[in-house]
C-alpha cells in the first residue's frame, strides 16, 4: 500500500501548487520537492504550514512519561 503524501492531500482538495507556494513563500518547484518526501520526513512546522495552506490543520498528541497527554499544534 502506497503512503499518502502531501501532494495527494493537495490534489484531493483541488488546491494548486502555486497557491501552496505563495502561502509558504517558496516556488512551485519548492512545493514539488516538499511533496516528493514522505510526510514523516517533512519537518512538523513545514507540514503544518503546508496543511494550513490547503485548508487543513496539523496537531500532534504527545504522551509524556507518567501518562500525561499534551496536545501540540495549531490552535487558530
**pTM exceeding 0.85:** no
User: In this predicted model, which residue has the larger pLDDT, 20 or 38?
Assistant: 20
pLDDT band (50, 70, 90) for residue 2: confident
**Owning domain of residue 49:** 6-73
Q: Crossing angle for the helix pair 44-53 and 17-24, nearest 10 degrees?
A: 130
pLDDT band (50, 70, 90) for residue 76: very low
Q: What residue ranges in 1-76 does DSSP mark as E strands? A: 59-63, 69-73
* CB-based burial label for 15 (10 Å; 0-12, 13-18, 19+): middle
Residue 10 in any domain: the answer is: yes
Which of 43, 45, 34, 30 has its CA nearest to residue 5?
Answer: 34
CATH code (residue 49)? 1.10.260
Residue 1 in any domain: the answer is: no
**Span 23-71, pLDDT tens digits:** 999 999 999 999 988 888 999 999 999 999 999 998 899 999 999 999 8
Amino acid at each position: 500500500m502506497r503512503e499518502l503524501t502531501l501532494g495527494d492531500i493537495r490534489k484531493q482538495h483541488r488546491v494548486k501548487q502555486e497557491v501552496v507556494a505563495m502561502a509558504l513563500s517558496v516556488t512551485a518547484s519548492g512545493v514539488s520537492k516538499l511533496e516528493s518526501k514522505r510526510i514523516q520526513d517533512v519537518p512538523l512546522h513545514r507540514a503544518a504550514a503546508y496543511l494550513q495552506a490547503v485548508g487543513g490543520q496539523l496537531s500532534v498528541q504527545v504522551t509524556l512519561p507518567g501518562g500525561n497527554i499534551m496536545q501540540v499544534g495549531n490552535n487558530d
